[in-house]
Structure 1
Amino acid sequence: MMDKERRAILQAGAIGAAMAGVNSFLPHAFASTSGNSMHDRSITDLSRSLSEGKTTSRQLVDDALAAINDPNGEGKPSFIKVHAEKAKLAADAIDAKRKQGHKLPVLAGIPISVKDLFDEAGETTLGGSTVLIGQPAATKDSVVVQRLREAGAIIIGRTNTVEFAYTGLGINPHYGTPNNVFDRATGRIPGGSTSGGAISVADGMAAGAIGTDTGGSLRIPAALNGLVGFKPTQRRVTLDGVMPLSTSFDSAGPIGWTVEDCILLDSVIADQKLAAPKSLALKDLRFAVPKVYFQNDLSPEVANAFHAALSKLSAAGAEIVELPMAEFEMTPTINPKGMITASEAYAWHRKFLKDGADKYDPRVLARIKTGETILAADYVDLQTLRRQFIRNVNAAAAGYDAMLMPTTPDVAPPIADVIKDDETYYRINGRMLRNPSAVNIFDGCALSVPCHEAGNAPVGLMIAGVQNQDQHILAVGRSIESVVGPSRGR
């Protein structure tokens, strides 16, 4: 890595590290967020406080902006653009309607962040890059943003991402890398690619975040920061007005403090009538736990947390069935070295590579350019293999309420370790993507919920289902989180 790039990334976390000298571990956000009205509070809780007059939307927005602007916080590397004045005006309008007695949706007046891949009218969607600076601004909102606005959500700003969403680590040499919520003194990766979105929630800069997931980009940062992330079945949420990475695997979804947060946000962006998931008793649920692939070479922290979570679920009455599920051994052969992803990414980027290749993050550029030499026949063959893989996984998963596996095989490593050389960067990136990307490959849906002990490095438990099982997986996740999740002391 070039010294210039290393300095830029390390500088992004320098302030946070300096302020954390007394404690090497801060369990969620900086102490300065302790009075933040959104930190560690669910959207339902905030909405109730609004409807009962205990707070106002303007107060929530002011608290979000204070957290974003906190010089000791992670606001600068978490956001590409902050909509401060627009958010205040929107909050005041919502508060006025509430005072007039209008019946408002659950999300009305709640600050939400959106990843810098979603079009907003009047804004240039940069995808965390400098390549697109100077390109025309979007003429209309993406459908997802439009639906959020119609539900009364306040878009607080556009969050940072890995350049063009093309890794699972969260590193961005152009706009900085926000520090993971755990062990701020060390400065650990936030996970990616929805890095800024996760930290915006973890640090009380937004009550929820909307991002994308092509190979784990919602679930990885959620898992590494003790949050909940949901990747829906791909075609369930429209990607109209969303910058693509891979049209075969891209999906859009939420990050929040709770499964319920994700249910609320998902219902809005998927344009589905909100219905509280039925209460599911764990004693009536049957879970498949694949022994192969997902449990290979786990770090001790992840292995311990995962097996402890399984034990807790079993003690609560759930049926835990550990079985080989050898179908998953084929996972690396369906998208070998990211060939499908790279092919589709190169098709979109080639027009910008002609004159702007030098503006790309070199590590992202290398992955995109892989697609330049992939033959159309090889691409077609891989898509054929994928269709058979989907059929095989669907058959193997039949009869189970969900499949359970660790979201990632490792906890968040230090940023300095990740960026020290290309070999380390790509190796760690591959490990972070390994488990969650399998769900994108079999076109499924999945939640990541925290399953670590309070005070330990965050670990995610992935609750996965096949395509179109979204509502069931969300209901299952709601039952699971109360059993396996760490107490947050509220």
Structure 2
Amino acid sequence: MIQNLTDLSRKLNRGSLKSADLVQEALSRIADPAGQGDVVFLRSYPDAARAQADWIDAARAKGIALPPFAGVPLAIKDLFDVKGEVTTAGSRVLDDQPPATADAPIVARLRAAGFVIVGKNNMTEFAYSGLGINAHFGTPRNPHDQTAHRIPGGSSSGAAVAVAEGMVPAAIGTDTGGSCRIPAAFCGVVGFKPTSTRVPKDGTVPLSKSLDCIGPFANSVSDCAVLDSILSGGAGEDVESFPEGGLRLAVLDGYVTEHLDDAVAAAYEKMLTRLSSRGVRLMPLTIDELAELPKINGKGGLVGAEAYAWHKPFLESRAGFYDPWVRDRFSAGQSQTAEDYIRTVEARATMRALVARKTDAFDALILPTVQIVAPTLESLADPEKSAATNLLCLRNTAVGNFLDLPAISIPCHGEGALPVGAMLMGRTGGDRRLLSIARGLEGTIRGR
């Protein structure tokens, strides 16, 4: 099912493809006993999806006007409200909560555009890790290594794997510190994080209301642009490709390249060489102040405080239902004072202004999405190693959240290699321009 959304829409609308067949293909891949659909999806909707697809096919045959993507299957992360269901966010903690009384706005927008939601994807419990490990429901295997169980990245683990394995052509996740871009990089797909206020977050289990973003996973920048349009209230428009020649990219180094493993370093350098050969102006840029981020967030940062505030009643009443590794992460937020929180807010404002000044002359920033390739699940058995690896996975992507910059991860590895992502970051509010730049550079970044 690795086809882009526009092609699928075109085939459906001209009658060369039936929604019932397309949806059944998705459901069959999810249910395949030889696959991992039972770990990638925490819930699927076979009956509702088939009924919707049949109705769409019948309506299209009668000439009834339909939305542009009517009949295209899609998956959503397990933290979005669907009317009549308990929203569980990859956890057992919320099992006793009442069902949602309405679809989340983004779910309603996807339905209005005609998408058939076939299920909810697995995720890190409460989205509180960049690794993609879930102790309750299992951890999806990274599809790019059949010999070892490598992690998919998180927190939107199932969404990335579902797209990478062709179960669905696209999926919707969230991103608080990298949760769309880390899994995209590890699984070899495209993942986009918008400016934080671009897409409404109502009807979503929060992690950090200051940093949470809602974004798509897909097989191309074009598909991410289409979904970004729909999620932000548009009609599903694509973007034009920005010309490569003369583009000014700041090549970030220092803090974001200090721990590159050999595979990431090699793929990234080859990709930069390709961009330069196409006339892209690459200018090294070190922002020394980024090295202050671990200290600024040393007491848990905005995520720690805001996550603890939301979870406090559940930690008091249902602590035993949390994965202990996730539960322990709330301790930093619990110990924060009001002064600590305000100082972090102030430091963020100062950092955003400083970086905006230092990057004003560039069209976009480029850096590795993650400094390592996906590690094996076995290598993370020790809690200290797991915690350190989690921080390393989040190191680069969290920069974009802290600065509230739109960012997109595009695969840049060679054929047959473990996936590596290159990340482009734009200006706050400049989401469509960044997507246009990314679409123009995508072929070169991928080495096509």
Give the TM-score taking structure 2 as reference length. 0.98
Q: Does 1:124 align with 2:90?
A: no
Provide the secondary structure at the position in 2 that maps to 1:311. Answer: helix
1:30-87 per-residue CA deviation (whole Å, 9 max, x = no partner) reads: xxxxxxxx1x221122222212322211111111111111111110111111011111
- In structure 1, the residue matched to 2:387 is 426
Cα contact 1:450–1:486 (8 A) shared by 2: no
**Is 1:370 the counterpart of 2:298 in the alignment?**
no
Query: Which residue, out of 398, 402, 408, partners 1:447?
Result: 408
Aligned to 2:157: 195
Match of residue 482, structure 1, among 432, 443, 448: 443
CA contact (8 A) 2:249 2:282 kept: yes
Percent of pairs with identical residues: 44
Partner amino acid, structure 2, of 1:437: A
Note if 1:322 corresponds to 2:284.
yes
Residue deviations 1:414-447 (CA, integer Å, cap 9, x gap): 11111x1101110111110000001000011100
Q: What is the identity, as a one-letter code, of the residue corresponding to 1:46?
A: L
Name 2:343's counterpart in structure 1.
Answer: 381
- Are residues 1:463 and 2:424 paired? yes
Map of 2:227 onto structure 1: 265
- Please name the residue that 2:148 is paired with: 186
Specify the SS of the correspondent of 2:329: helix
Whole-angstrom distance in 1 between the partners of 2:225 and 2:68: 12
Residue number in structure 2 paired with 1:290: 252
User: 1:283-313 CA deviation, whole Å, 9 max, x = no partner?
Assistant: 1311001121111110010011111111101
How far has the Cα of 1:355 moved from its partner?
2.0
In structure 1, give the amino acid aligned to 2:160. Answer: A
Is the Cα contact below 8 Å between 2:144 and 2:187 reproduced in 1? yes
Give 1:346's aligned residue: 308
Structure 2: how far apart are the matches of 1:180 and 1:336? 31
Looking at structure 1, the residues matched to 144 and 74 of structure 2 have their Cα atoms a distance apart, in angstroms, of 22
Match of 1:30 in 2: none
Q: Distance in 2 between matches of 1:198 and 1:276?
A: 21
* TM-score normalised according to structure 1 size: 0.90
Alpha-carbon distance in structure 2 between the residues aligned to 1:486 and 1:106: 31
User: What is the aligned length?
Assistant: 448
The DSSP-based 3-state class of the residue aligned with 1:107 is: coil
Secondary structure, aligned partner of 1:236: coil
The reply to whether residue 277 of structure 1 matches residue 239 of structure 2 is yes
Task: For structure 2, list consecutive stretches of 5 or more residues without a partner in the other structure.
Answer: none
Q: Is the 8 A contact 2:226 2:238 kept in 1?
A: no
Task: Identify the match of residue 170 of structure 1 among 97, 122, 132.
Answer: 132
Please say if residues 397 and 466 of structure 1, whose CA atoms lie closer than 8 Å, have aligned partners that are also in contact: no
Question: Aligned to 2:54, which of 76, 81, 92?
Answer: 92
- Measure how far apart 1:470 and its partner are: 0.3
| Deviation (angstroms), 1:335 | 2.1
Kindly provide the amino acid, as one letter, of the partner of residue 311 in structure 2: H
Query: Please, which runs of 5 or more residues in structure 1 have no aligned partner?
Result: 1-37
Q: One-letter code of the match for 2:420?
A: V
Q: 1:273 to 1:395 in 2, by over 3 A?
A: farther
Letter in 1 for 2:354: N
Shift, 1:93, TM fit: 1.4
CA RMSD of aligned residues (A): 1.2
Aligned-residue offset at 1:147 = 0.3
CA contact (8 A) 2:193 2:408 kept: yes
Q: Is the 8 A contact 1:442 1:466 kept in 2?
A: no
Aligned partner of 1:113 in structure 2 is: 75
How far apart, in 2, do the equivalents of 1:103 and 1:328 lie?
51
Do the aligned residues in 1 keep the contact of 2:19 with 2:72 (CA within 8 Å)?
yes
TM-fit CA distance, 1:281: 1.3
Task: Could you list the structure 1 runs, at least 4 aligned residues long, displaced by more than 4 angstroms after superposition.
Answer: none
Q: Which residue of 2 aligns with 1:416?
A: 378
Equivalent residue letter for 1:323? L
* Higher alpha-carbon deviation: 335-344 or 366-375: 335-344
The code of the aligned residue for 1:95 comes to D
Q: 2:416 corresponds to which letter in structure 1?
A: G
Contact 1:454/1:486 (CA < 8 Å) preserved in 2?
no
Shift of 1:276: 3.5
Q: Is the 8 A contact 2:223 2:238 kept in 1?
A: no
- What is the SS of the residue equivalent to 1:452? coil
The one-letter code sitting in structure 1 at the alignment partner of 2:359 is: A
Name the CA shift for 1:201/1:276 in 2 (closer, same or farther; >3 Å).
Answer: closer
Equivalent pair of 1:74/1:199 in contact (CA under 8 Å): no
Residue identity opposite 1:367 in structure 2: R
- 1:58 pairs with 2:20: yes
Within 2, Cα distance between the matches of 1:277 and 1:64? 27
